[in-house]
Structure 1
Amino acid sequence: MSVYADIVLNHRMGGDEPENIFVQQVEENNRIKTIEQPFEAAAMTKFTFSARNGMYSDFNWDHRYFSGIDCIKRNGEEVLGIFKIINEYGTEWNPSVSHQLGNYDYLMGADVEYRNPDVVQEMKNWIKWYLESTKVDGVRLDALKHISSEFLKEWITYIKTEINSDYYILGEFWKEEAGKINYFSDEMSNLISCFDVPLHYNFFKASEEGDQYDLRQILDNSFLQQMPVFTVSFVENHDTQKLQALESTVKEWFKPIAYSIILLSEKAYPCVFYPDLFGAKYSDMKDGQEIHVEIRKVETLPKLMEARQQFGYGSQVNFFDDPNCIAFMRMGDKKNKGCLVIISNNGKACKEIMWGEEYSNAVFYDFLQQRQEEIVVDNNGKGIFKVNARSVSVWVKK
């Protein structure tokens, strides 16, 4: 088992001491449009970590190392908003970030100023210490569209060339268009993998539209389709669940289908959402009301994960020939069996599948136990494989 650490590079929260600094407020929905001229205010931009007494680093963070803040005190009164910190780089945000909302450098807290070479060096020192101390096998980087791509490329290159070229690096670059993720990956010289956000939205749309969704298009415009070697596929995450920032919750009936695709496709590197495996309950506020949410575990998910371990081998053959019923076959290899995944988003369905003469008169059963019968293929290895309505079956040789 490999262990990946989840790292937030974009911002710091909970400063130790205030500083008097110059800031300029910008509009929330257009960060390049200012509201008024720069003014002096107090902000919690000093991070001294006094309790550590310099044990790990003698670097003390102050306003020179941040580009923005969301809470200040002006004339003794607290003011909330988005404030550009006036530093040696002027009044502009870092340009090498997402252009969403004009410029998406700022996300929350004290936004780190990656144009400052002292910051870049400190982050190199920190990651070297962190990786050597924890012995993790890789990292997941949060909120990359808010961080300087120039810094990221330099920093990731440093990890790969100066620390360990085998470290796995995965980034959350939240874009719905695979082309933009592809462009970002190219900017990083393909040193980083990215979450397949477009595929998640395909799953979300398919779950919403039901039998009106054309399953033949389920992989269209996904990062898995365009750059499979650099993609991580997922169904749901902490941001897409109900009441969260990027709410786009895949409906329960479709989750087994979605997981069968990412767990059993040849080129997918899947990420399973903890609440989908174990369930979860939580509360949050919406329109002034407290809402209680339950995420029920996907009952077939453990079996699908087991199916990946036992049968997710060999080349893949797709049967994407019907808008409401698709299938794909994993051919297996010399040591491991393959499987046939058949999916319906409408009523009960079936497909005639040719396994080949080496499977002559073989008996197949549904590993997920959605279908109880066994299927015997003919002398040529051909048989008719079935799936229940709005369901998935994984047929394997007995």
Structure 2
Amino acid sequence: MLQVNGGRKNMNGTMMQYFEWDLPNDGKHWQRLKEDAEHLKEIGITSVWIPPCYKGVGQEDVGYGVYDMYDLGEFDQKGTVRTKYGTKKELLEAIEALHKQGIHVYADVVLNHKGGADETETFEATPVNEDNRHEAIGETREIEAWTYFNFPGRNGEYSDFEWHWYHFSGVSDDEKTGDHGIFRIEGEDKGWAPDEHVSTEYGNFDYLMFADIDYSHPEVIEETKKWIHWFIEETNIDGIRLDAVKHIDSAFMKDLIEDVRETYDDDFFFVAEYWHQRYKFLEDYLEEHEYALSMMDVRFHYALHEASKQHNEFDLRRLIDGTLYKSNAEQAVTFVENHDSQPGQSLESYVEPWFKPLAYGFILLSSYGYPCVFYSDYYGYSGEIEYEGCRKEIDILLHAREEYAYGEQSNYLDHDNCIGFTRTGDDEHPEGCAVIMSNGEEGYKEMYVGDLHAGDVYIDLLKNREEEITIDDEGKATFLVNAESLSVWVRKPE
């Protein structure tokens, strides 16, 4: 485990989400990652977010249909030894290769549910209204569901814990009747997590899918802590991306995070995915966790999506309204796209290709947030999406982030279709930069870069503009940008 503050933003760190939903099921992804480690270091990536790396309900599973979290591609289960991404040996080799390059590794961890049980069990449950999970829509009855997990292919290696119906709070199917819906499991101390500890969408949003894990059960708490210690030590990861936290008892999550940091290091990185556009819900979650974790800036992503769809009808001055970026930048992980927002997924909110360079310019050159580059925006999309990404632009912006994007930021948000900001530089990186973007016509903006730059000549790193601009005696200049474009102005090398 690297101990350099998790590759975080105060180092001008940049994360890359190194997967998408439609990667080929060829078992070679860990090999690709290993071979790419040196290149990632060269372009300025300081941390990599890897997909869920344990056995899912089948070989093709992206990792969110969790079956056995102790099987990292080692045992013959669900018809395969490897996961979609490769074997355990290849996973560990990829992590080691990244660490050799000084790159931190964050693992995607899905604690909400389990799928692909080994046998069914019978127990008492109540069908509930999917739009209000507190409302029963039928009598409590005995149902049969897939809740028994004993992982015969692993045969007790690493853990002999077996999961039973009483370790879960809800399921979606009754095998006795063939009914499909949401069934709340009944019994002593059973029920959904308290409303104050999960999202209250649909009355109580504890249940999401598969067999929903009950984190009030002492055996579940003990086993999950045991697993996460094993996982961290087995893989040597530097941080964790916590999936779907609005569906998981937040009191348990707080306890788990504290336990990990007490055992390993206070700088062990956690970022939580709470998928909601209203900042208040993210702020409440941060407050409950005493601001001890980062969160994905979901509203900012949606603003980028809306801007890309609306073109010049979107007011760029409103881009950061209601975002973590604006109100709690220290905890914000900013992202343009991810596996859930890409086309074809349940949370589809795709940022149109024309706007992606502008979006990456905003998150990579800003002083706020911890930016994350999406795999497919760099390497191109798999599946049915015909978009090869904007690798050239991202490479230039990553270079600019490493060399120029330092110091105080001044925003120029005085026009609905043309905005900009400047970075003053710092003692180690005195150059600074001026960033300007337009979602409408060709534009310009007078901005201050510092009187120490008086007389300096600036050029557009992206080469979208060919002019050379001279800074005046007051440290100001009028910077230019093409229609629906981005320009990053820096001092011309001598």
- TM-score (norm: length of structure 2): 0.76
Distance (whole Å) between structure 2 residues aligned to residue 279 and residue 42 of structure 1: 44
Deviations along 1:159-209, whole A, 9 cap, x unmatched?
A: 122332220000001111112101110111212110001111211222222
Q: CA deviation at 1:92?
A: 4.8
Higher mean displacement: 351-360 or 116-125: 351-360
Aligned residue number for residue 55 of structure 1 = 157
- Report the AA paired with residue 187 of structure 2: N
**Alignment pair present for 1:155 and 2:256:** yes
Q: Following the alignment from structure 2 to structure 1, what is the Cα–Cα distance between the partners of residues 140 and 194? A: 18
Q: 1:42-81 alignment to 2 at 5 Å?
A: 42-74=144-176, 77-81=177-181
Give the superposition deviation at 1:332: 1.1
Query: 2:405·2:433 contact (CA, 8 Å) conserved in 1?
Result: yes
* Counterpart residue identity of residue 238, structure 1: H
Distance in 2 separating the partners of 1:143 and 1:87: 26
- Which residue does the alignment assign to 1:382? 476
Shift of 1:94: 4.2
In structure 2, what is the equivalent of residue 273 of structure 1? 374
Q: How does 1:1-398 map to 2 (within 5 A)?
A: 1-74=103-176, 77-92=177-192, 94-95=194-195, 96-282=197-383, 292-298=384-390, 299-336=392-429, 337-398=431-492
* Secondary structure of residue in 1 paired with 2:325: helix
Is this contact kept in 2: 1:362–1:381, CA < 8 A? no
- Alpha-carbon distance in 2 for matches of 1:67, 1:94: 12
Q: Is the 8 A contact 2:169 2:190 kept in 1?
A: no
In 2: Cα distance, 1:46 partner to 1:68 partner: 13
Deviation at 1:241, TM superposition (A): 1.6
SS of 1:293's partner is coil
- Cα deviation for residue 389 of structure 1 reads 0.3
Aligned-partner Cα distance in 2 for 1:319–1:107: 42
Deviates more, 1:351-360 or 1:325-334: 351-360
Q: Could you tell me which runs of 5 or more consecutive residues in structure 1 were left unpaired when the two chains were aligned.
A: 283-291
Alpha-carbon displacement from aligned partner over 1:252-306 (angstroms, at most 9, x marks no partner): 2221111111111102210111111111132xxxxxxxxx433441252222122
Q: Write the distance in 2 (CA, Å) between the matches of 1:274 and 1:310.
A: 23
> What root-mean-square deviation, in Å, do the aligned CA atoms of Structure 1 and Structure 2 show?
1.5
Instruction: Name the aligned partner's letter for residue 476 of structure 2.
Output: K
Give CA-to-partner distance per residue, 1:45-102, whole Å, 9 cap, x none: 111112222221121111110011112211xx53322111123224555432111011
Paired letter, 2:284: Y
What letter corresponds to residue 346 of structure 1 in structure 2? Answer: G
* Cα distance change, pair 26–274 in 1 and its aligned pair in 2 (3 A): same
Is the CA contact 2:169–2:191 (under 8 Å) kept in the aligned structure 1? Answer: no
For these two proteins, the number of residue pairs brought into alignment is 387
Question: Aligned partners of 1:321 and 1:3: how far apart in 2?
Answer: 39
Q: Deviations over 1:322-381 (max 9, x none)?
A: 121111001112222211100111111111223333212211111111112221223443
Q: Is the 8 A contact 1:128 1:163 kept in 2?
A: no
Any idea what SS the aligned residue of 2:305 has? helix
- The AA in structure 2 aligned to 1:84 is R
Calculate percent identity across the aligned residue pairs. Answer: 42
Greater relative contact order (CA < 8 Å, ≥ 6 in sequence): 2
Given that residues 111 and 243 in structure 2 are in contact (C-alpha distance below 8 angstroms), is that contact kept between their aligned partners in structure 1? Answer: yes
CA distance in 1, matches of 2:396, 2:407: 19
State whether residues 367 and 394 of structure 1, in contact with CA within 8 Å, keep that contact through their aligned partners in structure 2: yes
Partner letter of residue 321 of structure 1?
A: D
Does 303-312 or 231-240 show the bigger shift?
303-312
Contact 1:59 1:122 in 2 (8 A): yes
Any idea what SS the aligned residue of 2:326 has? Answer: helix
Query: Which amino acid in structure 2 is aligned with residue 14 of structure 1?
Result: G
Deviates further, 28-37 or 56-65: 28-37
Q: Counterpart of 2:111 in structure 1: which amino acid? A: L
Runs of 5+ unmatched residues, structure 2: 1-102
Note if contact 1:157-1:191 (Cα within 8 Å) is conserved in structure 2: no
Distance 2:191 2:258 in 1: 29
Further displaced range: 49-58 or 367-376:
49-58
More strand by share: 1
| Aligned AA (1:44) | W
Corresponding residue number in structure 2 for 1:286? none
Contact 2:420 2:437 in 1 (8 A): yes
Counterpart contact for 1:235–1:273, Cα < 8 Å: yes
CA deviation string 1:3-61 (max 9, x = no partner):
00110000001111111122221122222222211111221111111222222112111
Q: Is this contact kept in 1: 2:437–2:484, CA < 8 A? A: yes
* Larger CA deviation: 323-332 vs 353-362: 353-362
Alpha-carbon distance in 2 for matches of 1:92, 1:357? 61
Q: Distance in 2 between matches of 1:278 and 1:2?
A: 20
Once structures 1 and 2 are overlaid, which stretch shifts more, 345-354 or 223-232? 345-354
Give the whole-Å Cα distance in 2 for the aligned partners of 1:208 and 1:323: 15
Counterpart of 1:369 in 2: which secondary structure?
coil
